[in-house]
Structure 1
């Protein structure tokens, strides 16, 4: 398994339209798969999935602004819109006209913004298909943790964010996982990017996406419902934030989506069940290739 330090060392740097340095990593050849990470982690949480998929895909990851090895301005008003801009900037930079999107947690919100741009003819690349990992895609069913709610509070959020320890971060991550919890090495690797240049102390700024979701969730939900291409939901059922309760509602509003249910898995399927996640992605991308060559 690649270490977090090696992962960062293999990253390249893009300067976004907003003049921020963003870390991205690309490996392999084949259909292009872009993996979008969530809060409060970074692109490394896809390391096992990426290592699997790279055998027959080009795999691209990106650390959003404020995360991982990317710039972490403070103070700053982080936004979903800027994160979506960054994805467009990256694919322009790499001259990739089409990608398969895999999106988790905050990365799914960014993905929904990208889909909305696509449906309105404003996206600068094509989306060949989508896999969604655990996310509050039905806002009414989403259950933020107590820590998320506290971090989002004015003044108090900044105070708490500035005092988050590694032990508290580990407890928070394990608290939303299923039967399997992070071992020492797994957490150390995740914490490396989370705490790089004191990034963990930005949690009160990064969590602002929940305020944006409160305003824009109907538009973003409509975008995902309006998507007519391949759509797959790969879901950890034991996630207290956006688990079985969100999936059951999502099935009603996304009846054409294929669904992979993961028992005993929580909020981070890519960490907890990487073989199942990579297998699900490989199957749907392979089906696309088969269909395109047999029509």
Structure 2
């Protein structure tokens, strides 16, 4: 038995060594176009990628898109054109540690920092004194909750929020079921450094995954912001979501936030509704925006 394990180890080591030196794949033409259509601004010595598109001439409305984990602003590409037909400006960013933005290490990633980056971007664009509509997903929901808390408490430099639409995020830690890989990485242990090292995506590292623990620690602050706000609030929900499962999540949402409106998409729509059902997602969002 001991010799068998030794042989496996001798074979595995060179394979891992080769794997770790494989260069990252080239960007697809679609991602290259997405990046070339964007810009960067600097926030506390970090380069942050964003897109700012001019849209409908007859509208003065602005929408800011906050993406999920572990992806990027490209999550919104399927509804981008539809949003530009309704809003005067459509703005999206890659949070630090994600997409085309810088991925510093070591670094203490936090929801508070990401919210400050959103404020910094709108300040950079000269929009801090204008009301914006927030459209968020997953990780971005929590960032939106922190921005809402700052707005409700009149924090200096906070974003003026006209409306907030959430989608398939871990709003309630008690109904959030992270995937096994997320649990392993956020909690550490012997296997965590190995998986992190082998992953092509640095945003799987423990630093970013601490947002799961931050949601638990700051639940009262972030759920409380939703409960006390007078800002129009909406949820677009893909009910097949394994991370925020139905009916557990939706029942709690309606119980805790009865003043919020809700759009439940088709039964087969899961955790990324804006990608799985872009037309249904876009129509649900525009119906919400046009309702007030």
Q: Considering the TM-score relative to the shorter chain, is it more than 0.5?
A: yes
- The Cα shift of 1:223 comes to 0.7
Say which structure, 1 or 2, has more relative contact order (CA 8 Å, 6+ apart): 1
Match of 2:219 in 1: 217
Q: Which of 247, 250, 253 is 1:247 aligned to?
A: 250
Offset at residue 285 of structure 1 (A): 1.8
**TM-score, L = length of structure 2:** 0.83
Structure 1 length normalisation: TM-score?
0.82
Structure 2 CA distance for aligned equivalents of residues 225 and 7 of structure 1? 36
Q: Equivalent residue for 2:145?
A: 112
Tell me if 1:280 matches 2:284.
yes
1:36-185 matches, within 5 Å, as: 36-57=66-87, 58-96=89-127, 97-122=130-155, 123-155=157-189, 156-164=191-199
Measure the CA separation in 2 of the matches of 1:158 and 1:130. 37
Q: Give the deviation of 1:208 after TM superposition.
A: 1.1
Alignment partner, residue 5 of structure 2: none
Aligned residues of 2:64 and 2:92 also touching (Cα < 8 A): yes
Q: Which residue does 2:229 correspond to in 1?
A: 227
Cα-Cα RMSD = 1.7
Report the CA distance between 1:108 and its aligned residue: 0.7
Task: Answer with 1 or 2: which has the greater Rg.
Answer: 2
Shift of 1:100: 0.3
**Deviation at residue 255 of structure 1 after TM alignment:** 0.5
Q: Does 1:21 align with 2:54?
A: no
1:251 and 1:4 mapped to 2: Cα distance? 37
> Does structure 1 retain, via aligned residues, the 8 Å contact 2:139–2:170?
no
Q: Structure 1 regions of 5+ residues with no counterpart?
A: 166-194, 289-295
Do the aligned residues in 1 keep the contact of 2:139 with 2:169 (CA within 8 Å)?
yes
CA distance in 1, matches of 2:99, 2:262: 30
SS at the partner of 1:27? strand
Give the aligned partner of residue 291 of structure 1: none
How big is each residue's C-alpha offset from its partner over 1:239-258, in whole Å with a ceiling of 9 and x where there is no partner? 01113221211010111111
| Corresponding residue SS for 1:162 | helix
Mapped to 1, the partners of 2:194 and 2:225 lie a distance apart of 36
Cα deviation for residue 157 of structure 1 reads: 2.4
Look up the match of 2:32: 5
1:129–1:230 contact (8 Å) kept in structure 2 = yes
SS of the equivalent of 2:109 reads coil
**Number of equivalenced pairs:** 254
**1:28 to partner: Cα distance:** 2.6
